[in-house]
């Protein structure tokens, strides 16, 4: 899984995007109010609230067509999607924001640090990853803020490092008389040198993100990349609760970070 994650992160820089990033997948239910509406590799998630829907991540610039088709398959009215969120302002997760914002007439909410990337079309990205069409951010999300949508609560948990404004969201929802949690995790994979004059707080941010993610124990977790959380395999079995897989994904990611520290920092 670690090697696969490395491949999908590096590949767009050297040889165009892997075909899985644009490969259609039929939408499916994950847990509670959450549905998968992304591609074979790009995690795009729909939260169906009683008063409207939230979409997390848009995929690439060419993904909105697939996402809109997936919404239609699920019987979701495009006009019911009022808010667009992302885990990280990179082209494979916000490249479609521009088109979706128009098509859905939705608002974009983002962390302050990722808003700078979104509004510059990625020009402000300290990792220098591929640009995308700039989009205006309508509201800034604050660390620790809890968005309340009827009986759903979505907590903003800054997990910076992959981008300076990378963020995870912890959803709390009622499920058969009990309260459950689902984490939309942004794994802190490192896509730039640790000593980066454009991002002096990078190592401190990554340390914070690992501590935060390790402190969480969600019933269900998903990630910005499908392969990071084995989502299509889970969809086949219908088993999405995966505490061991969550711990392992973070431990693998942290081991990569520690190795990078050893190699790059004195
Ligand atoms: Zn990224």
What does the domain layout of the chain look like in residue ranges?
A: 2-13+28-264
Tokens representing 36 are 């998968």
The structure's pTM equals: 0.93
Query: What separation in Å is there between the alpha carbon of 202 and the centre of ligand 1?
Result: 15
Query: What separation in Å is there between the alpha carbon of 179 and the centre of ligand 1?
Result: 31
- 9 pLDDT higher than 80: no
Query: What separation in Å is there between the alpha carbon of 239 and the centre of ligand 1?
Result: 26
Residue 266 pLDDT: 83
Residue 151 pLDDT: 86
Query: What separation in Å is there between the alpha carbon of 94 and the centre of ligand 1?
Result: 10
Q: What is the mean pLDDT of the chain?
A: 94
- 26-45 pLDDT, tens digit per residue, is 999 999 999 999 999 999 99
Going by pLDDT thresholds of 50, 70 and 90, the confidence category of residue 127 is very high
Query: What separation in Å is there between the alpha carbon of 206 and the centre of ligand 1?
Result: 14
**Mean per-residue pLDDT for 235-250?**
97
Query: What separation in Å is there between the alpha carbon of 11 and the centre of ligand 1?
Result: 12
- 11 pLDDT higher than 80: no
Query: What separation in Å is there between the alpha carbon of 50 and the centre of ligand 1?
Result: 31
**Mean per-residue pLDDT for 153-181?**
97
Cβ distance 188 to 209 under 8 Å?
yes
For domain 2-13+28-264, the CATH architecture is 4-Layer Sandwich (3.60)
Query: What separation in Å is there between the alpha carbon of 9 and the centre of ligand 1?
Result: 7
Query: What separation in Å is there between the alpha carbon of 127 and the centre of ligand 1?
Result: 9
Residue 51 pLDDT: 86
- 1 pLDDT higher than 70: no
- 4 pLDDT higher than 70: no
Query: What separation in Å is there between the alpha carbon of 119 and the centre of ligand 1?
Result: 16
Query: What separation in Å is there between the alpha carbon of 134 and the centre of ligand 1?
Result: 16
Query: What separation in Å is there between the alpha carbon of 89 and the centre of ligand 1?
Result: 7
Residue 200 pLDDT: 97
- 220-237 pLDDT, tens digit per residue, is 999 999 999 999 999 999
Query: What separation in Å is there between the alpha carbon of 71 and the centre of ligand 1?
Result: 24
């Amino acid at each position: 899984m670690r090697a696969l994650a490395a491949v999908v992160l590096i590949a767009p820089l050297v040889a165009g995007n892997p075909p899985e990033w644009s490969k259609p997948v039929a939408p499916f239910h994950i847990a509670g109010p959450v549905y998968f509406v992304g591609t074979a590799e790009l995690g795009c998630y729909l939260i169906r609230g009683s008063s409207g829907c939230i979409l997390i991540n848009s995929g690439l610039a060419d993904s909105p067509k697939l996402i809109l088709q997936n919404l239609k398959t699920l019987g979701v009215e495009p006009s019911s999607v009022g808010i667009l969120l992302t885990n990280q302002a990179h082209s494979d997760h916000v490249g479609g924001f521009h088109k979706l914002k128009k098509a859905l007439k939705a608002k974009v909410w983002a962390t302050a640090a990722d808003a700078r990337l979104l509004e510059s079309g990625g020009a402000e990205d300290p990792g220098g990853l591929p640009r995308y069409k700039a989009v205006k951010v309508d509201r800034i999300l604050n660390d620790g803020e809890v968005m309340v949508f009827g009986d759903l609560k979505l907590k903003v948990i800054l997990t910076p490092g992959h981008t300076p404004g990378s963020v995870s969201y912890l959803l709390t929802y009622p499920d058969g008389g009990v309260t459950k949690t689902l984490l939309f995790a942004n794994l802190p994979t490192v896509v730039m040198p640790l000593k980066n004059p454009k991002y002096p707080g990078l190592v401190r941010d990554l340390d914070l993100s690992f501590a935060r993610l390790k402190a969480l124990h969600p019933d269900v977790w998903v990630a910005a990349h499908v392969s990071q959380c084995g989502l299509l395999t889970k969809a086949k079995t219908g088993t999405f609760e995966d505490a061991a897989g969550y711990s392992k994904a973070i431990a693998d990611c942290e081991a990569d970070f520690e190795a990078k520290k050893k190699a790059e920092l004195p």
